[in-house]
């Protein structure tokens, strides 16, 4: 509105001013140029509307949108330039008016007053104003050239605007078709919405019934949850009791295991001591066997000596008997020969009888000595045999006793080890059973907790 008012004022001022033809023509051209500026403003508003429709529907290409974005800027710049030129024209008009007034005053002063100094000042002012007028003419020519360029660009842009208007009409037609299609879709959607509304009402009623049922179920579930929580607490207590019992059983089993280990250690120590004593006794048996062997050697030696003595006795007896027989034969021969010589023979017989008595005495002594030594050696041998048999019996009895005690201890150790293993197996089994029971109870508790949570969430 301000631009239009300025244009009207400029046109009226140009009509009223008594200036030369060039200035008037330039003012007329400016007035003629201002008419399409309003058209451009209207076109700007139209382009804004087009841009809004295009933005709403997104059906015009990016090139047209860029052109429409550039057009308002160029139009605004042209409006600013036009306003600037109008303002310069108003200033030029005022300067021309003031110059005409000054000329009138100079004429009056020439008539009224002939002061040379004022005339000089006025002439200087006139020259300055003439220079400014020349500058204004040059600027006006430049503005005319710019306006010609703008007219050419405006014609090109008008062609583009026509193309855009055609595209806009097509877009509006498409929008109308789409609006019709959307209206049809909206009608269908309204009918569908009505049906869905009815279904929703029915569904809401069903959901309300389900809600009432769920509330009743929730009450039942809360009661069951309280019962399960009480059962859970009881189960926890039972689990704690079972855990304590298991811990006590494990402790007792550990103590029994320690006791069994202590008894095993004691039995092993006893077995080691028995082994040591058996080794000592075996050493003593070896020594006794060695002594028995030595005594057997002595007995064999004595037997050989006795045999030798018996052999010597037999040989001596045989020799003596042979000699006696020979002497008897000789004596019988001599008796037979010297029957008659009894005196000589009696003497010889008495001497021989004494010799025989001495020899018999010696033989008796030898027999007695040999029999006594044999009896003594036999008694010694019997005593040694009895001692050896007694030692053998004692050793065999001790060995049997040690073997029996060793077997019993071994059986006890094996029994204790088997009992220990059985107790360990039983403890492991009880521990696994308790762990399984605990895991099962924890799983039950977790499932019940999850059920309670789901029920609470529902």
pLDDT band at 41 (very low <50, low <70, confident <90, very high): very low
The whole-number pLDDT of residue 303 equals: 66
The answer, yes or no, to whether residue 223 has pLDDT greater than 60, is yes
The 3-class secondary structure across the chain, one letter per residue, is CHHHHHHHHHHHHHHHCCCCHHHHHHHHHHHHHHHHHHHHHHHHHHHHHHHHHHHHHCCCCHHHHHHHHHHHHHHHHHHHHHHHHHHHHHHHHHHHHHHHHHHHHHHHHHHHCCCHHHHHHHHHHHHHHHHHHHHHHHHHHHHHHHHHHHHHHHHHHHHHHHHHHHHHHHHHHHHHHHHHHHHHHHHHHHHHHHHHHHHHHHHHHHHHHHHHHHHHHHHHHHHHHHHHHHHHHHHHHHHHHHHHHHHHHHHHHHHHHHHHHHHHHHHHHHHHHHHHHHHHHHHHHHHHHHHHHHHHHHHHHHHHHHHHHHHHHHHHHHHHHHHHHHHHHHHHHHHHHCCCCHHHHHHHHHHHHHHHHHHHHHHHHHHHHHHHHHHHHHHHHHHHHHHHHHHHHHHHHHHHHHHHHHHHHHHHHHHHHHHHHHHHHHHHHHHHHHHHHHHHHHHHHHHHHHHHHHHHHC
Block residue for tokens 């010694």: 380
Averaged pLDDT, 113-139: 77
In terms of pLDDT, which residue wins out, 333 or 174?
174
Q: Which of 40-49, 190-199, 376-385 has the lowest mean pLDDT?
A: 40-49
pLDDT band at 24 (very low <50, low <70, confident <90, very high): very low
Q: Which of 235-249, 300-314, 338-352 has the lowest mean pLDDT?
A: 338-352
pLDDT band at 373 (very low <50, low <70, confident <90, very high): low
pLDDT band at 14 (very low <50, low <70, confident <90, very high): very low
Kindly report the number of other CB atoms within 10 A of residue 372's CB atom: 10
Distance CA 271, CA 147 (A): 133
The whole-number pLDDT of residue 413 equals: 62
Cβ atoms of 453 and 228 closer than 8 Å: no
Distance CA 193, CA 185 (A): 12
The whole-number pLDDT of residue 17 equals: 38
The whole-number pLDDT of residue 378 equals: 60
pLDDT tens-digit map of 376-407: 656 656 666 666 667 667 767 766 766 676 66
The answer, yes or no, to whether residue 169 has pLDDT greater than 80, is yes
- The Cβ-side half-sphere exposure at 269, using a 13 Å CA radius, reads 6
The whole-number pLDDT of residue 64 equals: 46
Cβ atoms of 101 and 24 closer than 8 Å: no
The whole-number pLDDT of residue 417 equals: 64
The whole-number pLDDT of residue 334 equals: 60
Residue 107 carries which DSSP code? H
Distance CA 451, CA 232 (A): 13
In the chain, how many H helices and how many E strands?
A: 5, 0
Angle value at C-alpha 314, between 309 and 315, nearest 5 degrees: 95
Name the range with the highest mean pLDDT among 26-40, 290-304, 355-369. 290-304
The H or E element that residue 363 is part of is helix 342-457
Distance CA 186, CA 198 (A): 18
Cβ atoms of 32 and 112 closer than 8 Å: no
pLDDT band at 446 (very low <50, low <70, confident <90, very high): confident
pLDDT band at 331 (very low <50, low <70, confident <90, very high): low
The whole-number pLDDT of residue 385 equals: 63
pLDDT tens-digit map of 270-299: 777 777 776 776 677 677 667 667 766 766
pLDDT band at 458 (very low <50, low <70, confident <90, very high): low
The answer, yes or no, to whether residue 188 has pLDDT greater than 80, is yes
In terms of pLDDT, which residue wins out, 176 or 364?
176
Express as a percent the part of the chain with pLDDT over 90: 0
The answer, yes or no, to whether residue 50 has pLDDT greater than 50, is no
In terms of pLDDT, which residue wins out, 257 or 323?
257
The answer, yes or no, to whether residue 8 has pLDDT greater than 80, is no
For the chain, the maximum distance between any two Cα atoms, rounded to a whole number of angstroms, is: 260
342-457 and 116-337 helices, crossing angle to 10°? 160
The answer, yes or no, to whether residue 408 has pLDDT greater than 80, is no
Express as a percent the part of the chain with pLDDT over 70: 45
In terms of pLDDT, which residue wins out, 256 or 111?
256
Distance CA 458, CA 454 (A): 6
Q: pTM, whole model, 2 decimals?
A: 0.24
Averaged pLDDT, 311-327: 66
Q: Which residues of 194-210 are buried (b: 16+ CB within 10 A; e: fewer)?
A: eeeeeeeeeeeeeeeee
Block residue for tokens 């049906």: 195
- What's the mean per-residue pLDDT of the chain? 67
In terms of pLDDT, which residue wins out, 43 or 455?
455
Cβ atoms of 51 and 72 closer than 8 Å: no
The answer, yes or no, to whether residue 74 has pLDDT greater than 70, is no
Cβ atoms of 420 and 257 closer than 8 Å: yes
pLDDT tens-digit map of 304-314: 766 776 676 66
The answer, yes or no, to whether residue 173 has pLDDT greater than 80, is yes
The answer, yes or no, to whether residue 30 has pLDDT greater than 50, is no
The answer, yes or no, to whether residue 31 has pLDDT greater than 50, is no
Q: Which of 108-112, 231-235, 239-243 has the lowest mean pLDDT?
A: 108-112
The whole-number pLDDT of residue 398 equals: 63
């Amino acid at each position: 509105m301000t631009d239009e008012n300025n244009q009207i004022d400029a046109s009226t001022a140009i009509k009223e001013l008594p200036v030369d033809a060039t200035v008037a023509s330039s003012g007329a051209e400016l007035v003629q140029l201002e008419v399409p500026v309003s058209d451009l403003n209207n076109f700007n508003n139209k382009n804004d509307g087009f841009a809004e429709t295009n933005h709403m529907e997104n059906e015009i290409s990016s090139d047209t949108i860029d052109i429409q974005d550039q057009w308002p800027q160029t139009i605004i710049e042209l409006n600013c330039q036009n306003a600037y030129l109008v303002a310069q024209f108003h200033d030029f008009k005022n300067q021309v008016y003031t110059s005409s007034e000054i000329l009138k005053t100079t004429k009056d002063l020439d008539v009224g007053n002939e002061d040379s100094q004022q005339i000089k000042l006025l002439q200087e002012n006139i020259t300055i104003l003439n220079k400014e007028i020349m500058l204004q003419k040059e600027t006006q020519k430049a503005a005319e050239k710019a306006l010609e360029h703008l007219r050419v660009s405006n014609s090109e842009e008008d062609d583009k605007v026509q193309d855009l208007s055609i595209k806009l009409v097509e877009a509006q037609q498409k929008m109308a078709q789409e609006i019709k299609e959307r209206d049809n879709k909206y009608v269908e959607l309204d009918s569908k919405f009505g049906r869905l509304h009815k279904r929703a009402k029915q569904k809401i009623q069903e959901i309300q019934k389900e809600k009432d049922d769920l509330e009743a179920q929730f009450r039942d579930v809360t009661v069951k949850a309280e019962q399960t929580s009480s059962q859970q607490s009881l189960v926890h207590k039972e689990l704690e009791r079972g855990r304590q019992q298991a811990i006590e059983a494990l402790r007792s089993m550990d103590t029994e295991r320690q006791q069994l280990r202590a008894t095993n250690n004691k039995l092993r120590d006893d077995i080691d001591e028995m082994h040591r004593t058996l080794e000592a006794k075996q050493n003593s048996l070896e020594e006794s066997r060695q002594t028995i062997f030595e005594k057997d050697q002595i007995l064999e030696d004595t037997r050989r000596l006795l045999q030798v003595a018996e052999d010597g006795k037999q040989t001596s007896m045989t020799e003596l008997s042979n000699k006696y027989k020979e002497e008897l034969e000789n004596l019988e021969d001599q008796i037979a020969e010297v029957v008659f010589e009894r005196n000589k023979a009696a003497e010889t017989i008495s001497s021989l009888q004494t010799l025989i008595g001495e020899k018999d005495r010696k033989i008796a002594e030898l027999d007695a000595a040999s029999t006594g030594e044999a009896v003594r050696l036999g008694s010694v041998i019997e005593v040694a045999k009895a001692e050896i048999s007694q030692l053998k019996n004692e050793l065999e009895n001790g060995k049997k006793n040690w073997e029996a005690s060793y077997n019993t201890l071994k059986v006890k150790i094996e029994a204790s080890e088997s009992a220990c293993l059985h107790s360990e197996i039983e403890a492991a089994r009880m521990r696994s059973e308790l762990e399984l029971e605990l895991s099962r109870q924890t799983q039950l508790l977790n499932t019940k907790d999850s059920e309670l949570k789901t029920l609470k969430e529902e």
